Amino acid sequence: MSRFRAQAGVSRYKDGRKGFSQEGPMRLTDFDALSFDCYGTLIDWEAGLAAVLVPWARSRGLGPSGEELLAAYSAHEARAEAEHPAEPYPGILARSLRGLGRELGAEVSDEDAARLGRSVPDWPAFADSPQALADLAGRYQLIILSNVDRESFAASSRRLGVGFSSVITAQDVGSYKPSPRNFDALLAETGRLGVPPGRLLHVAQSLFHDHVPAKQAGLPTVWINRRHDRPGWGATPEPPAPARPDWEFASMRAFADAAAAAAASA
């Protein structure tokens, strides 16, 4: 993924509201609110997916590794979300597994599909997410922009242990990221919350789902590069265009520490 490295803290960006724009160096103290992707950034969705996909594959006599299954699965989920934007996420998961089964020539029973569809509440938080969010909450409003449904997120929210100023799900918007509709909804919500134009920073792992469309919406971004020590794209498709985040960190802990250091030196 090295061809999409960030140029930390140096950018020109234009908020989609009111024609706001800014040029030159940015600082983490320039923002009042952080919007987060949840799955892949705060919740370990690859571990959650693999916990279902690998046993299913082994039960069907399939040999691909967990990483290979995630990579194959990624295209099916992206297609399902694009073709069925109003379908709640458990249905997307079930539909995606059926697509993967057809690709691999393996049976997917109704119970297999339902098992993946109801698995989101079991997906673990990354170990650093709860405390990092708690630390960031002392400096910023926290907002979720997630490709799930309300019920699934409620279970994940309990794992994260912090309050969010707002939660925007695909179910609320009627589409899935990377649709620009989701970022339009985010900008509208931050306006409702009183966040001034240019004071929102989007934080995410997926270049495909988040960084490319966020940049198109005029938002500065932080890349939480959870796969920094692994090759490939994992459960997310390769981005369709170069993504240029403004900061890159290997973990939420590193990001929260950088935000604290920036505040201390301001």
Instruction: Measure the CA–CA gap between 111 and 165, rounded to whole angstroms.
Output: 36
37 flagged as catalytic: yes
Residue with tokens 């979300």: 81
Tracing tokens 């908020």 back to the chain, one arrives at: 15
DSSP, collapsed to helix, strand or coil, labels residue 162 as: coil
Q: Which of 15, 30, 32, 37 is catalytic?
A: 37
Q: Under DSSP, is residue 44 helix (H, G, I), strand (E, B) or coil?
A: coil
Nearest CA-CA partner of 143 in 159, 120, 163, 125: 163
Pairs from 102-111 (Cβ < 8 Å, separation ≥ 24): 103/72, 103/76, 104/57, 104/60, 104/62, 104/64, 104/72, 106/57, 106/60, 106/61, 106/62, 107/60, 108/56
Continuous H helices in the chain: 45-59, 66-83, 89-104, 110-117, 129-136, 150-160, 170-173, 180-192, 212-216, 252-265
Cα of first residue to Cα of last residue in the chain, in angstroms, is 33
Active site residues: 37
